[in-house]
Amino acid sequence: MKWKLCILLVGLLAGGCATGPPPEPTLRAPAGTAPEAVTLMEEGNRLFAAGQWEPSKQRYEAAIKVQPSLAEAHYNLALALERLGNRAEAKKHYLEAANLAPGHKVIWNSPPLRKYGEGDPIPKEKAFLDPHPQ
């Protein structure tokens, strides 16, 4: 009996229950967003959560047409584009979202933006034992 439990635990620790990193959350439209853009964003987020990347992409694109300065729509569009395998276009929208929302912590600290950005957007404090002094 103990060996069965050990095998089960080893399987779980080896990743038997792992499903990969959690998906990035989509962003909601902020207060003051045009009502039509809010509706499109909500529809896009619902479709994105259901794994329907192409329809969600279309809703985010439509929201951007209604309100081109909506950083959250650009960010969500980038998430959908990345799921569809269009990384070059996703990069453009991650960067556009960051440019439109310079103080937006979720956008600026997101793993996708860090992957595509020009280095770390948030300066790190120098550690005392840093082997690579700046």
Residues 6+ apart with CB under 8 A from 25: 106
HSE-up (13 A, CA, CB side) for residue 25: 6
CATH of the domain at 107: 1.25.40.10
What is the reported pLDDT for 113?
72
Q: Is 99 contained in some domain?
A: yes
Residues 29 and 41 sit within 8 Å (Cβ to Cβ)? yes
For residue 60, the enclosing domain spans 28-116
Which helix (H) or strand (E) segment holds residue 48: the answer is: helix 35-49
Q: Is 49 contained in some domain?
A: yes
Q: Is 4 contained in some domain?
A: no
Q: Is 75 contained in some domain?
A: yes
pTM (two decimals): 0.70
Q: Is 23 contained in some domain?
A: no
Residues 70 and 39 sit within 8 Å (Cβ to Cβ)? no
Q: Is 88 contained in some domain?
A: yes
- Identify the band that residue 109 occupies on the pLDDT scale cut at 50, 70 and 90: confident
Amino acid identity at 75: Y
Q: Is 132 contained in some domain?
A: no
How many structural domains does the chain have? 1
- Read off the pLDDT of residues 53-102 as tens digits, 9 standing for 90 and up: 999 999 999 999 999 999 999 999 999 999 999 999 999 999 999 999 99
Q: Is 127 contained in some domain?
A: no
- Nearest-angstrom CA–CA distance, 19 and 29: 29
